[in-house]
Amino acid sequence: MTAPADLEPLAVDGGKPVRTKPLPLGPHGIDDVADEEIAAVTKVLRRRKIFRYLERTEEEGPSEAVQLEKAFRELVGCEHAIGTTGGTTALIAGLVGIGVGVGDEVIIPGYTYIATPSACLVVGAIPVIAEIDDSLTIDPDDIRRKITPQTKAIIPVDMIGLPCKMDEVMAIAGEHDLMVLEDVAQACGGQYRGRALGGIGHAGAFSLQHYKLVTSGEGGMVTTNDRDIYYRASCRHDSAMCFWDDKMDFAPFAGENFRMCDLRGALGLVQFGRLEGLLTRMRTVKRRILDRIGDLPVVRPCPINDTEGDCGTTLVLTTDSVETSKRFSEALAAEGIDNGTKHNAGFPDRHIYCYWDYVMDKHSHDASGWPWTSPLYKGSVEYSRDMCPRTLDILGRAVSIGITQRYTESDADDVARAVRKVALGVDAKGG
C-alpha cells in the first residue's frame, strides 16, 4: 500500500500537486446542449404551437411535452406520467396525488433540498425530519421512530444520485399504511435492485431543472401506476384538466397550472435522449476511480445501497472525524481536486435541514402560522438545528467529489492518485 510514490510530499505542505488543470465539473445535461436541442426548440417556435393540448397535424406530430411523458413512463416502467413546471411542483402534485393534505405529517430525510419540506408545507402538511444513515439516504430505523398517528406519507430522497433503501421504506409503509412519494430530483435514471427509481413508491417526482442530470430548463415529472393518484395529481397540475381529458371519470377539484409546455418538452426530450449515455459514462468513471483507490487508511467510500443503480454523479469519501475530513478535504483541494464538504460551501447549504430556516422557525406565508397552527393538525412537531445529530455528524465527515461525463480516463486516474496520496499522507501525519 505504501509504494514510494505514495509518500510524495503533499501539495498542502509545499509538494507538487497531482494536477493544476481544474476537473471538468459543472452541471451535466445542460453542458451537452448542442444543435439538436436548438433545432428542437426552434421547431416548436416555428410551428407556433407551444400549448400541449392543441390539435396537431400528422406532420407536426404529437406534443413534445406528451412525448416526454411517454419517455418517462418507459424509463420508470409505469402507467402514468405528468409533465410539470418543476421538481417542486411535481412534489406538490405528487403529494396531492397520494392524498396528503392539511394536518398530515410527512417523514422526510434531514438531507434533501429545501424544496422537499417546502412542497409538504404548501399542501398544508407538516414535514417531520428523520436522520440519514451512512448511505446518505433516509434511515429506515429512524422512519419507524418518527411515525405518529398523524403520519400519512414518507418521502425518501435519492440524494446525489444515491438510491435509498427502498425495500425497507416500502416495508415500513406497508406495515403502517403509509404512502410513499419518491423524490428522484437528483437521481433520474437511477435504480434500486433492478427497478427504476420513481417507480417503486406510490408515486415519484423528478426535476428537470438546470442543475439536474438532464434538463428542460425548468421542469419536472410525476410518475405513478395508480389511476386515482394520476387524476388527483393531474387536477392539481391543471385547474382545467377535466376539460382537456374528457375520459376522466373523476370529480375534479381546483388546481394550479403547473403544465409543461412544448418548448420545455422539446428541450427535455433531446436531453432525455442523452441520459443513458451520461449515466454509463459517469458510472464507468466512478468505478474506475474506486477500483484505483482500493483500500486506504483514513478514508473509505460511502456505502451505496445499490452500486449498479447509483447514478455515479458523486464520489463520497468518509473519515472517522470531522477534523480529519476537513484536513483531508483541504489537502485534496491543494492537489487540484475540487471537493465539497459541509464546511467549505461558503454559504449555508440548503440541502441540510439545519439551514432550512423557515422550517426550523415555523415561518409561514400565512400570519396564522398555518399549517403548523391549523386546528386540523393534531400532532406536536418541534424542530431544532441539532435535532438530527447523526445526520450532521455523517455529513460533517463526508467529502464529495463531483463526477461528470467530461471526465477523461486520465482525469479519473488523477482523482484516484490524489485520493491515495492524501490519504497516505494524512495517515503518516497521524490521521
Sites of contact with ligand PLP (CB under 6 A): 86-88, 112-113, 115-116, 157, 183, 185-186, 207, 209, 220
Least distance CB 88 / ligand PLP (angstroms): 3
Least distance CB 110 / ligand PLP (angstroms): 12
Q: How far is CA 257 from CA 85, 86, 101, 234, 408, in A?
A: 9, 11, 19, 10, 43
Residue nearest to ligand PLP (CB): 87
44 or 160: CB nearest ligand PLP: 160
Cell of 232: 388527483
Radius of gyration of the chain (CA): 23
Least distance CB 221 / ligand PLP (angstroms): 10
157 or 302: CB nearest ligand PLP: 157
207 or 319: CB nearest ligand PLP: 207
337 or 359: CB nearest ligand PLP: 359
Residues 6+ away with beta carbon under 8 Å from 395 = 111, 132, 136, 342, 352
Query: Phi, psi (5° rounding) for residue 425?
Result: -65, -45
Least distance CB 330 / ligand PLP (angstroms): 27
Least distance CB 30 / ligand PLP (angstroms): 13
Least distance CB 335 / ligand PLP (angstroms): 29
332 or 398: CB nearest ligand PLP: 398
User: Comparing C-alpha atoms, which of 192, 203, 142, 139 is closest to residue 162?
Assistant: 192
116 or 191: CB nearest ligand PLP: 116
Least distance CB 287 / ligand PLP (angstroms): 24
Least distance CB 266 / ligand PLP (angstroms): 18
11 or 107: CB nearest ligand PLP: 107
85 or 151: CB nearest ligand PLP: 85
